[in-house]
Chain A
């Protein structure tokens, strides 16, 4: 069974903390994505990576950075967490090519207090 695994289901962090969200896929996919999901706004792309050490900004990259040192792992970093970053974060991966679907992890619900 194909899998995208996010390291935490729930996280509570304090304002100003540096936060790491980890994502691992076992499908040898080239593309990996980080989205945030908020009610009424759907999924918004934060960052995307199409290869190791390669990254592209999505629609809402401010306040976030990413790291992809290995093909199977894609990390999202909140440099200094703020309350407006409280959200559901979803990691996804896909094979190269626009016809291929994305596979999603279970999501991490992050609360910043």
Chain B
């Protein structure tokens, strides 16, 4: 069965510091991977997605993620944190079974300290 784990339910960084949010997945077949962001009192918005075209994926707002098959990881990074990056971040994996099922990780709450 597929699953997604996110190490660290809460991460704090200083403004201008590197952001690193970790995601590991388990899947018996090549996965399609996504990162979503949720700002307070809003729904989820897609940051970026991996669909096997390139291992380094660039997304919106300066975020990027690298797919590492050997480590079954898809960590999200941003070189310099901004106050507006404070939000909840979800890693998700999709697989074609009888339907297009998407499984979400538990989420990581990012705080940015001025």
Interface residues of A (CB under 8 A from B): 4, 31, 33, 35, 40-45, 48, 50, 56, 90, 92, 94, 96-107
Cβ-neighbour of B99 out of A40, A42, A56, A107 (below 8 A): A56
- The one of B36, B43, B102 in contact with A107, judged by C-beta atoms closer than 8 angstroms, is B43
Chain A hits for B105, CB < 8 A: 42
Query: When the two chains form their complex, are residues A106 and B98 in contact, meaning their CB atoms are under 8 A apart?
Result: no
Asked whether A105 and B90 contact (CB < 8 A) given A40-B9, A42-B106, the answer is no
Asked, given contacts A40-B9, A101-B34, whether A90 binds B106 with beta carbons under 8 Å apart, the answer is no
CB neighbours of A33 from chain B (8 A): 102
Alpha-carbon distance between A35 and B105 when the two chains are bound, in angstroms: 13
Q: Which residue of A lies closest to B95 (CB)?
A: A98
Binding site for A on B (CB under 8 A): 9, 32, 34, 36, 41-46, 49, 51, 90, 94-96, 98-107
A105 near B43 with CB under 8 A, answer: yes
Complex-state Cα separation, A106 to B39, whole angstroms: 10
- What are the residues of chain A within 8 A of B94 when measuring CB–CB? 98-99
Asked if B43 and A90 sit within 8 Å, CB to CB, the answer is yes
- Which residue of the partner chain B has the closest CB to A107? B43
User: Would you list the 9 A-B pairs with minimal beta carbon distance, nearest first?
Assistant: A104-B43, A43-B104, A42-B106, A98-B96, A104-B44, A101-B46, A42-B104, A99-B51, A98-B94
CB pair B107–A42 under 8 Å, yes or no, is yes
Q: Which residue of A lies closest to B97 (CB)?
A: A98
Q: Do A42 and B90 touch (CB < 8 A)?
A: yes
Q: How far is the CB of A112 from chain B (nearest CB, A)?
A: 20
Q: A40-B9, A96-B100, A98-B95 are in contact. Are A106 and B90 (CB under 8 A)?
A: no
CB-defined contacts of B103 to chain A, threshold 8 Å: 45
**11 additional A-B residue pairs with CB within 8 Å, beyond A42-B107, A92-B43, A106-B41:** A4-B43, A44-B104, A45-B101, A45-B102, A48-B99, A48-B101, A50-B99, A90-B44, A102-B102, A103-B46, A106-B42
Q: How far is the CB of A108 from the nearest CB of chain B, in Å?
A: 10
Partner of B90, one of A43, A97, A101, A103: A43
